[in-house]
Amino acid sequence: MSTKDFVEKDYYKVLGVPKDATEAEIKKAYRKLAREYHPDANKGDAKAEDRFKEISEANDILGDPKRRKEYDEARSLFGNGGFRPGPGGPGGTGSFNFDLGDLFGGAQGGGGAGAGGAGGFGGGLGDVFGGLFGRGGATRAQPRRGQDIESEVTLSFTEAVEGATVPLRMSSQAPCKACSGTGDRDGTPRVCPTCVGTGQVSRGGGGGFSLTDPCVECRGRGLIAQNPCETCKGSGRARSARTMQVRIPAGVSDNQRIRLRGKGAPGETGGPAGDLYVVVHVDAHPVFGRKGDNLTVTVPVTLPEAALGGEIKVPTLGGPPVTLKLPPGTPNGRTMRARGKGAVRKDGTHGDLLVTVEVTVPQELSDTARDALESYREATVGEDPRAELFKAAKGA
């Protein structure tokens, strides 16, 4: 912003107050407008952010008696269209008490009074322009993305397989409710004099390059509280707890990390919200297990069923049982597959249910069962299931 543009800018009009407004009236008008146009209340609205910056600039000048006096004198000197010479003639000084050379040097990078200049003024209007706008004019503080949040949730085995919506309570930094995110008890923060509202400061780097860092004075906000809010200590941010309903997709695995974009902490100065990362823990199931998209289950079968074969019913997760055909001579530990009875995949299809056979040996026998087994043993005399084992052991 040039010196001419700055002086011609009517800050009284910006705040909607008359030129003879009292300090209380100026403060009241600024507080009302600042709350209305604050970036945290108008996320993503660049026009509102520009308007807030303009309001802050106006308050920074009119809210300070010394700067207001210098501003009024500057407008009296320049008028509404350009320089108006004082009694001293075209290059005269008139009776103003600020240094016009400093004014141009600070705001435009010029070299003091020249033709039509006013080297005889005393005071510090140049400091107003130089401190508030710098040489190249201030830019608004850059939008800052909110922090990412990580939380944990524990699901039952069935919820993990089928998906579930669960309440999740989290805590994060958010705009302070007590001061509407301004950091100021009265909602009237001032532009930071260190970074002149940009939220950033430059420092020299190697090879002629300039490096930019967040302003330490205002912590990158571009504003400083005149009367720090007791809740947030002037930061404009406070710890806030909230509960939200989170949809966990079907087929999630134990310790899987799910990312929910834009569900993290709110951003600053119109910046986007961070992300929410949910780490899922899954409780064990008393019957079913899981291998990727497949579910697993161990099914006991009797000796006759394993030897003679037949049909067995197998439970499924959340559905009716399925019937599997058991081939004659099924060994212990054999795994069969029930297709489409597993966990839900990302594409909506299902994995399989892997059924492992466990042949049970009876601990107690009835007389009839004992006689039947004795008959079986007599019928298989001469068969030695360990013969091949000893043969292989000798040959090794």
DSSP string computed for 6-67: HHHS-HHHHHT--TT--HHHHHHHHHHHHHHH-GGGSTT-HHHHHHHHHHHHHHHHHTSHHH
Q: Which of 355, 299, 344 is nearest to 318 (CA)?
A: 344
- What gap in Å lies between CA 232 and CA 184, rounded to an integer? 9
CATH of the domain at 349: 2.60.260.20
Binding residues for Zn(2+): 176, 179, 192, 195, 215, 218, 229, 232
User: What domain range is 62 assigned to?
Assistant: 3-133
Instruction: Please check whether residue 258 lies inside any domain of the structure.
Output: no
pLDDT of residue 73: 75
The rounded mean pLDDT for the chain is: 79
Q: Dihedral, CA atoms, 304, 306, 312, 316, nearest 10 degrees? A: 140
Burial of 139 (0-12, 13-18, 19+ CB in 10 A): middle
Instruction: Please check whether residue 283 lies inside any domain of the structure.
Output: no
Final residue before a domain boundary, out of 110, 133, 156: 133
Q: Can you tell me the mean pLDDT for 76-93?
A: 46
As for how many domains the chain has, the answer is: 2
* 85, pLDDT greater than 70: no
pTM: 0.54
* 102, pLDDT greater than 80: no
Binding residues: 176, 179, 192, 195, 215, 218, 229, 232
pLDDT of residue 336: 96
Instruction: Please check whether residue 182 lies inside any domain of the structure.
Output: no
Final residue before a domain boundary, out of 133, 152, 180: 133
* 81, pLDDT greater than 80: no
Q: Percentage of the chain surpassing pLDDT 90?
A: 34
Instruction: Please check whether residue 278 lies inside any domain of the structure.
Output: no
Residue 316's identity, in one-letter code, is T
Helix or strand holding residue 213 (H, E) = strand 210-214
Final residue before a domain boundary, out of 82, 103, 133: 133
Q: Which residues pair with 223 in a beta bridge?
A: 191
CATH of the domain at 85: 1.10.287.110
Residue 385's identity, in one-letter code, is P
pLDDT of residue 281: 95
pLDDT of residue 128: 41
- What gap in Å lies between CA 194 and CA 201, rounded to an integer? 8
pLDDT of residue 87: 43
Q: Are 15 and 29 in contact (CB under 8 A)?
A: yes
